[in-house]
Amino acid sequence: MIPTLIFDIETIPDVSGIRLLYNLDPSLSDKEIAEFAFQKRKEVINTDFLPLHQHRVIVISCILRDEDAFKLKSFSEPELNEKKIVRSFFSVIEKYTPLVVSWNGGGFDFPVLVYRGLLNGVIARKYWDLGEKEYNGDPDFRWNNYINRFHTRHLDLMDMLSLYQGRASAPLQEIARLLGLPGKMNMEGSSVWEFWQSGRIKEIRNYCETDVINTYLIYQRFNLMRGLVSPQNYEKELLLVKNTLKETKQPHLQEFLSVWGRK
């Protein structure tokens, strides 16, 4: 079995970077800096969603599925700083050379990780491998790498299910709910900055983990649709996920299972 890595990230405004970019008064609070950036953005495109290079990564949640097990893990503040979070994620790709699966990872998660890796001096050789002989690349990566939008070494589920048409894209929450999955239960991505300011990092991490589980389960349904797994093996995979989550005894995962069981 080729290892599969499903991931999701959570971010907050890069307050330090925004201070530097706009030469803002050092006495301004983080909240004031972020609000300045939100208003600045609204002036340009009528939304306060910041440019991707102005995001700071605070959580990356991953599922690694290999021959041995289904493993859920988060790299997160406050245990790790941003450099270690981003470096830990790319080290998983370096170690396993997995198939990577995301929801809008091509449009958001990976561009953010690339910017933050660049700013933090993170080495991500395998991720950037394009099979180029002059850089001792893997020849297989010339035809299937993590960078090319139409390659499947990184499979952006949102992008692929919409057949690469932006007008056909659907939110993770809605596809998850339509498939009978819990979807987002206790918060939304737009609440991350508010939760962060209140010191509720654990809840942000829990939210990220449930998002990545939803993504994995949608990916399994997609594999069933493609004929890559039989209906019997699909059901076995769902049972593996349920049993693994049950064994963790983590309250947010038990809540996920409870909601899933009611649908």
Nearest Cα residue to 252 out of 182, 188, 193: 182
What average pLDDT score do residues 218-233 get?
Answer: 97
d(CA 39, CA 17): 16
Stretch (H or E) spanning 231? helix 231-248
Dihedral (CA of 83, 89, 93, 99) sign = negative
Predicted TM-score (pTM) of this structure: 0.95
118-169: per-residue pLDDT in tens?
A: 999 999 999 999 999 888 999 999 999 999 999 999 999 999 999 999 899 9
Nearest Cα residue to 175 out of 209, 227, 216: 216
d(CA 112, CA 52): 6
pLDDT of residue 148: 94
The pLDDT mean for the chain works out to 95
226-249: per-residue pLDDT in tens?
A: 999 999 999 999 999 999 999 998
Beta strand pairing status for 70-76 and 154-156?
A: unpaired
pLDDT of residue 80: 96
Kindly report the backbone phi and psi dihedral angles of residue 12, in degrees, each rounded to the nearest multiple of 5, phi listed first: -130, 165
pLDDT of residue 190: 79
What average pLDDT score do residues 99-106 get?
Answer: 98
188 pLDDT above the threshold of 90: no
Strands, E assignment, 2-54:
4-13
pLDDT of residue 186: 77
Higher pLDDT: 47 or 208? It is 208
Strand, helix or coil for residue 227: coil
**For the chain, what is the radius of gyration of the CA atoms?**
19
Nearest Cα residue to 172 out of 98, 230, 108, 232: 108
Instruction: Pull the structure tokens for residue 144.
Output: 């299937």
| Residue 2 amino acid letter | I
105 pLDDT above the threshold of 90: yes
Stretch (H or E) spanning 62? strand 55-65
What average pLDDT score do residues 92-120 get?
Answer: 98
257 pLDDT above the threshold of 70: yes
pLDDT of residue 187: 79
Q: Which domains does the chain have, with CATH numbers?
A: 4-262 (3.30.420.10)
| Residue 245 amino acid letter | L
pLDDT of residue 263: 59
Of 47-51, 187-191, 237-241, give the lowest mean pLDDT range.
Answer: 187-191
pLDDT of residue 261: 76
In percent, the amount of the chain with pLDDT more than 70 equals 99
The residues, ordered by sequence, that sit 6+ positions from 37 with a Cβ below 8 Å of its Cβ are 13, 18, 50, 54
Other beta carbons within 10 angstroms of residue 131's beta carbon come to: 14
Instruction: Pull the structure tokens for residue 188.
Output: 């939304």
